[in-house]
Amino acid sequence: MPTFFEKRQIVTPGELLAEGDFLAGENTYAEGSKIFASRVGLADSENKKVNVVALKAFYIPEIGDIVIGTVTEVGFSGWNVDIKAPYEANLRASDVLSRPFKPQADELSQVLNAGDLIVAKIAAYDRAHDPQLTVGEPGLGKITRGQIMRVTPTKIPRVIGRKGSMISMIKQETGCQIILGLNGVILVTGKNPEDEELAMVAIQKIEEESHTSGLTDRIAQMLKEEKAKKEENKK
Partner 1 sequence: MNQKPEKLIDKKGLRLDGRKPEDLRPIKVDVGVLSNADGSAYVEQGKNKILAAVYGPKELHPKHLSLPDRMVLRCRYHMAPFSVQERKSPAPSRREVELSKVIRESLEPAIFLEYYPRTGIDIFIEVLQADGGTRCASITAASLAIADAGIPMRDLVVGCAAGKVDDTVVLDLMDTEDKIGVADVPVALMPNLDVVTLLQMDGILTLEEFEKAVNLAMEGCKKIYALQKEALKTKYMTVKEVEE
CB of 102 to partner 1, least distance (A): 30
CB of 116 to partner 1, least distance (A): 20
Q: Catalog residues that contact partner 1 under the rule CB under 8 A.
A: 10, 12-16, 27, 29, 31, 36, 38-40, 54-58, 60, 86-88, 127-128, 208-209, 211-212
Nearer to partner 1, 40 or 66 (CB): 40
Contact 132, 113 (CB under 8 A): no
Nearer to partner 1, 208 or 225 (CB): 208
Kindly give, in sequence order, each residue whose CB lies less than 8 Å from that of residue 220, ignoring residues fewer than 6 positions away.
169, 173
CB of 150 to partner 1, least distance (A): 13
CB of 148 to partner 1, least distance (A): 19
Nearer to partner 1, 57 or 140 (CB): 57
d(C-alpha 144, C-alpha 106), whole Å: 21
3-state secondary structure of 188: strand
CB of 35 to partner 1, least distance (A): 12
Give the residue from 129, 140, 65, 135 showing the smallest Cα distance to 93: 135
Nearer to partner 1, 87 or 137 (CB): 87
Nearer to partner 1, 2 or 86 (CB): 86
Helix axes 193-208, 165-174, angle to 10 degrees: 150
The sign of the dihedral angle between the CA atoms of 92, 95, 101, 103 is negative
